[in-house]
Amino acid sequence: KCYSQTDSLKNHSAFFIQSNFMVGKIVANYSDFPKSTGRKTLYLDFGFYDNRKNNSTSRYYNFPASGISLSYSSLGNDSVFGREMDLVPFIDFNACHQLKNSFHFRFGIGASYFTKHYNRITNPTDEPIGSSVTWAFEAFIFQNVFSSKHLQVKAGAGFLHSSNGHTQLPNFGINSAMLSLSFQYFTKPITAQQTIVDRTIPTDRTLHFILQSRFGIGYHEFGGTTGPTGGPKKLVYTESISGGLILKQHVKLRLGFSYRFYEHYYEYILRNPLATMENHPEKILSAHPVWNSSALTFIGSGEFLYNHFGLDLEGGINISKPFYHNFNRLYENDAQPFYFLKSFFATRMGLNYYFISAQKNPKNNFFIGAHINANFGQADFSELSCGYVFRVK
Question: 195-235 pLDDT, tens per residue?
Answer: 888 877 777 778 899 999 999 999 999 998 887 888 889 99
Report, as an integer, the average pLDDT of 295-315: 96
Look at residue 364 and tell me whether its pLDDT is greater than 70: yes
Amino acid letter, residue 333: N
For a pLDDT cut of 70, what percent of the chain falls above it?
A: 97
How much is the pLDDT for 4? 43
CB atoms within 10 A of CB 367: 22
Most confident of the following: 53-57, 70-74, 307-311: 70-74
Distance from C-alpha of 265 to C-alpha of 268, rounded to nearest angstrom: 5
Residue 71 β-bridge partners: 43, 86
Give burial (CB, 10 Å; 0-12/13-18/19+) of 48.
Answer: middle
Q: List own/partner pairs for 267-275 with CB under 8 A and 24 or more apart.
A: 267/234, 268/222, 268/323, 268/326, 269/293, 269/323, 275/326
Look at residue 11 and tell me whether its pLDDT is greater than 80: no
Closest of 178, 176, 83, 179 to residue 132, by C-alpha? 83
Distance from C-alpha of 5 to C-alpha of 100, rounded to nearest angstrom: 13
How much is the pLDDT for 10? 52
Report, as an integer, the average pLDDT of 33-58: 93
pLDDT tens for each residue of 238-286:
999 999 999 988 999 999 999 999 999 999 999 999 888 877 888 899 9
Look at residue 14 and tell me whether its pLDDT is greater than 90: yes
How much is the pLDDT for 157? 98
How much is the pLDDT for 284? 92
Which structural domains are found in the chain, ordered by start?
14-195 (2.40.160.20), 207-391 (2.40.160)
User: Is the CB of residue 65 less than 8 Å from the CB of residue 47?
Assistant: yes
How much is the pLDDT for 142? 97
Q: How is 71-97 classified by DSSP, letter by letter?
A: EEEE-S-TTTT-EEEEEEEEEEEESSS
Residue 21 β-bridge partners: 42, 181
pLDDT tier at 6 (50, 70, 90 boundaries)?
A: very low
pTM over 0.75: yes
How much is the pLDDT for 7? 43
How much is the pLDDT for 9? 43
Look at residue 362 and tell me whether its pLDDT is greater than 70: yes
How much is the pLDDT for 8? 41
- For the chain, what is the mean pLDDT? 92
